[in-house]
A and B are shown apart, each in its own frame.
Chain A
Amino acid sequence: QVHLQESGPGLVKPSETLSLSCAVSDHSISSPYYWGWLRQPPGKGLQWIGSIFHSGYTHYNPSLQSRVTISVDTSRNQFSLRLTSVTASDTAVYYCARHGDYGEYWYFDLWGRGTLATVSS
């Protein structure tokens, strides 16, 4: 069964960079899906951060685009998120998730369990 697992430091200092990885198990990351990152501040709603295809083609949320880089490592079957210049408002549970390659399939049918990243000095 396909499984996504986020990993990364749970605590990041203000102004530093948040780096997370998502390992994909029992499924090739080179299959025709996009692999995305979303986040959810404690007690709040969901925000899409961006998505990447195995070719490296990316789509980003314009509200975060200046600070976000999503990359893919097909040899390790994982993809990653970098968010620079973090502030307390970036504190959230970060999820990795999968969605289809064509627009009509851009809903998230598979999710990791999420990892809490806290921005604090």
Chain B
Amino acid sequence: DIVMTQSPDSLAVSLGERATINCKSSQSVFYNYNNKNYLTWYQQKPGQPPKVIIYWASTRESGVPDRFSGSGSGTDFTLTISSLQAEDVAVYYCQQHHSSPITFGQGTRLEIK
């Protein structure tokens, strides 16, 4: 199985400041034939199911604010929130779908400082 490791486990950021979450995969999730990284970021708020915010490592899902961005390739990925808003408080997960079984990172809890 591909192991997904996120860092940090939790993060406190002031409103309006930048938040950065990292995700590392135990093997590459990049496919040469279509030049895509099979890496998705989800946001999960309390009592709700996860919601896709970034897919293919850097493509923002429709309707997601442009303060959310994804970067990275191969085994190292980053989710950045450029200016933290109160509604961004959530747990964020990365997920790989390069190889079965689909696996998720352990999650990063983002709070307001």
- Please give the residue numbers on chain A whose beta carbons come within 8 Å of chain B beta carbons, in ascending order: 45-48, 59, 61-63, 95, 97, 99, 103-104, 106-109, 111-114
Residue of B with least CB distance to A60? B101
> What's the minimum C-beta distance from A58 to chain B, rounded to whole angstroms?
11
Q: Is the CB of B95 within 8 A of A62?
A: no
Q: Is the CB of B104 within 8 A of A45?
A: yes
User: Does B32 lie at the interface of the complex (its beta carbon under 8 Å from any beta carbon of A)?
Assistant: no
Interface stretch among B13-21, B48-56, B74-82?
Answer: B48-56
Q: Is the CB of A104 within 8 A of B103?
A: no
- Could you say which residues of chain B place their CB within 8 Å of the CB of A45? 93, 104-107
> What's the minimum C-beta distance from B33 to chain A, rounded to whole angstroms?
10
Q: Is the CB of A104 within 8 A of B106?
A: no
User: Does B60 lie at the interface of the complex (its beta carbon under 8 Å from any beta carbon of A)?
Assistant: no
Which of B56, B98, B100, B106 is within 8 Å of A59, CB to CB?
A: B100
- Could you say which residues of chain B place their CB within 8 Å of the CB of A95? 49
Q: Is the CB of B101 within 8 A of A62?
A: yes
Q: Is the CB of B40 within 8 A of A107?
A: yes
- Could you say which residues of chain A place their CB within 8 Å of the CB of B101? 48, 61-63
